Amino acid sequence: MAVDFLVVTLAGAVATLSVLALAQRATAKKLPPGPKPLPLIGNALNLTTKELWLRATEWARQYGS
């Protein structure tokens, strides 16, 4: 019983991650170029409340406004 639960859980996790990866690829093609996000947290580490406008200005110059 425990092995069956583990197999079903792992299969569900793999299926969920596969669907999320495919969805991300589909939406990424429609967006303009930008910084590549990290899994799960995106670009949260690139943003600070104190210097947000500086980072946005830098990205505008690098990737277009």
Check residues 35 and 8 and name the one with the higher pLDDT.
8
Handedness of CA 39, 42, 46, 48 (dihedral sign): negative
Distance CA(44)–CA(8), nearest Å, equals 32
What is the structure's pLDDT at 31?
A: 66
Confidence of residue 52 (pLDDT cuts 50, 70, 90): confident
> Model pTM?
0.40
pLDDT digits (tens, 9 = 90+) for 23-33: 877 665 666 77
Q: Which one is predicted more confidently, 37 or 18?
A: 18
